[in-house]
Amino acid sequence: MPADIETKAVVFHRLGNAADVFRVGFKYHHRFTLLLELVGRCETSGPSTDNGSEAVRHDDWGLSSLATLRKEYLRVDQRANDAKCCVSMPILSDYARKKKLDFFLPYLPTDARIVEVGAGDGWLGRCLKERGQQNYTSIDCETPADIVGDINEWASLGLEAASVDVLIAFEVVEHGDFYHAFHDLLKANGLLLLTTPVPHMDWVLRGLELVGLNQNRTSPHSHLHYLRDLPGFEAVVTRRVAQLAQWGVFRKEP
């Protein structure tokens, strides 16, 4: 097997057999080309290349090597920016947003009272308003959320108990314990829409962040857990995505 092809195969294998996750981003042709250049720079062995750049060893695929990859990625990524061929989000995060809409929109009636916790840059709210959602509120610890504050202190934020039809928390519950607040805010039979990493694969997501393919986490994932039995909620539908993420819709039990 040619050395450059072998190197690419090792990259995918060492990042947790996540080739499918990488593949979804390859529809962005320019980023695909740049990624091939990036991976092609990884040496198969040896302490350094002739030009003095740091080599990536097959037998030492640790965080230091990922950091080296990230530096190289940023170099070629600047070329993408100069060519105006990049997307507004890292490849995998951008793709995941589109797939979340496909998966979760059927559970979001346009007349529902919707609250999103951890709204970030507000991408979901913009999408919902474009499709006619009139009763949407975003909450986050920072602007540009409609309400800035801690969801666990919902009463002080002007929210009322049992007032929400659908509560959305994408990439939130791995950061803290919020389920009691979610349960208090939802109406009877209200829906909780969640996404969160698969705990034993979170290291792969961290690697994807380091090489610029996934959005950086805003705080440590100190509350990783499996979406199996959530006290006070019953599962409507759950899905494991690319063996890296858990998506689910849960109904508040009476």
Task: Judge residue 52's burial from the number of C-beta atoms within 10 Å of its C-beta, 0-12 exposed, 13-18 middle, 19 or more buried.
Answer: exposed
Mean of per-residue pLDDT scores for the chain: 77
- Distance (Å, rounded) from C-alpha 3 to C-alpha 14? 16
Of 30-34, 59-63, 108-112, 248-252, which gets the smallest average pLDDT? Answer: 59-63
For position 69, what pLDDT does the model report? Answer: 52
Best CATH choice for the domain 91-252 from the list 3.90.180.10, 3.40.50.150, 3.20.20.140, 3.30.70.20: 3.40.50.150
Contact assessment for residue 28 and residue 88, using Cβ atoms and an 8 Å cutoff? no
pLDDT band at 176 (very low <50, low <70, confident <90, very high): very high
pLDDT digits (tens, 9 = 90+) for 204-252: 999 999 988 888 998 999 999 999 889 899 999 999 999 999 999 999 9
Distance CA 149, CA 181 (A): 13
Q: pTM for the full model?
A: 0.67
- Dihedral of the CA atoms 108, 195, 99, 86 (nearest 10)? 120
The answer to whether residue 26 scores a pLDDT higher than 70 is no
Domain map of the chain by residue range?
3-82, 91-252
Strand positions, DSSP E, the chain? 114-117, 136-140, 147-148, 164-170, 186-197, 233-241, 245-252
Q: What's the token pair of residue 154?
A: 């919902």
Whether the CB-CB separation of 205 and 182 falls below 8 Å is answered with no
Residue among 201, 189, 202, 200 nearest 236 (CA): 189
Q: How many helices (H) and strands (E) does the chain have?
A: 8, 7
